[in-house]
Amino acid sequence: MYFIIQDKVKITKFATIFQYAKNFTESLTLYFSKDKMHIQAMDKAHVCLLDLHIQSTWFDAYKYDEEVESLFVGVNNELLYKIINTKQEQQQIKIEYHDGKDVLNISFTEKEDLTMIMEEKKEGKKKKGKKETKKQKETKKQKETKKQKQKEKEPPSKKKTSMFDKYFDMKTMDLDEELLDIPDNEYSVDLILPTKMFVSLSQELSMFDDSVRVVCKQDNVELVAKGNTGAMKVNMNIDDVLEYAIEENISLDMTYSIQYFQMMCQFHKLSDKVALGFSEETPMMMKYELDETSFVRFYLAPKLDDNDDNDDE
């Protein structure tokens, strides 16, 4: 199987995922199937879970032709990010792996024409894998030869900078991990904020304490941090947020580690909006959407605060 990413914005988002996933775990398993790539990572304290779903349609090209239903590839997260970070601006990313191998192939090259790949994909659905005729192969070869000759005739651009193709063979790891089955819960409170706003508030609240209280009421949401050096309270009116929904006749008062808020906020480049979900008996949910079907979400357990009574004195 392999996938290719050419879009600059998508490459930045893809690199961001591995750049900050290393704060959760040093190594992780990449799960591949015919329709998506899936990653889960739990922090060492088992307080916060990262859950990534990228559908095959998100990539510029994605091909899964393995005989097995899914592939499990263990990798060193930090090394993978370092490799991705060597890519030059105009290059594409191609990652390839085959069942039974112990190497993940990563290449950064000049962007290739994906038209042929997309056409083959469409033809494969219609003809169900029929082989090319001799005439089709000759026509294809003639087109490729013509393109190469035209490229050789093109005068070199004065503004063009040196760009070298790079190929990496990254050893995979045997990791004893299983995907958790996470149900799509409905939350008592659903809140959507601009990502920049939430990141900024998390940074400001961290100045006063290592915990943050989230108080959800019918007409507003409060974020409270209170410590030895002072306190900060944020009052969000429902008219000032992007979306807000709460079950009737309930209010929530939950406490979370501000450190994990900041860890989740490191992924802010993934989306300009962040969705939050709160319920009394389940971990909070935080979600960045990559598109309509692909996303990164986090689940954070509430913090058990034994000092509530003392704080109120």
The answer on 198 and 102 residing in a single domain is no
Same domain, 299 and 194: yes
Tell me the pLDDT of the chain (313 aa) as tens digits: 999 999 999 999 999 999 999 989 999 999 999 999 999 999 989 999 999 999 999 999 999 999 999 999 999 999 999 999 999 989 999 999 999 899 999 999 998 888 766 565 555 555 545 555 655 656 666 666 665 656 555 555 555 556 799 999 999 998 877 888 888 889 999 999 999 999 999 999 999 999 999 999 999 999 999 999 999 999 999 888 999 999 999 999 999 999 999 999 999 999 999 999 999 989 999 999 999 999 999 999 998 765 544 444 4
Number of domains in the chain: 2
Does residue 276 form part of some domain?
yes
Assigned domain for 270 exists: yes
Instruction: Evaluate whether residue 129 is within a structural domain.
Output: no
In a domain, 272, yes or no: yes
3-state secondary structure of 303: coil
287 within some domain: yes
Q: Is residue 120 part of a domain?
A: no
Do 101 and 201 belong to one domain?
no
CATH code of 247's domain: 3.10.150.10
Any domain includes 59: yes
Question: Can you spell out the DSSP letters for 119-150?
Answer: HHHHHHHHHSSPPPPHHHHHHHHHHHHHHHHH
198 with 300, same domain? yes
Same domain, 202 and 99: no
The DSSP bridge pattern shows strands 189-194 and 273-279 to be antiparallel
Distance, in Å, from the CA atom of 273 to the CA atom of 242, rounded to the nearest integer, reads 9
Residue 16's closest CA among 274, 288, 292? 288
Beta bridge partners of 40: 29, 51
Where is the domain boundary, 171, 206, 237? 171
- For 36, the domain range is 2-113+164-171
Residue 214 lies in a domain: yes
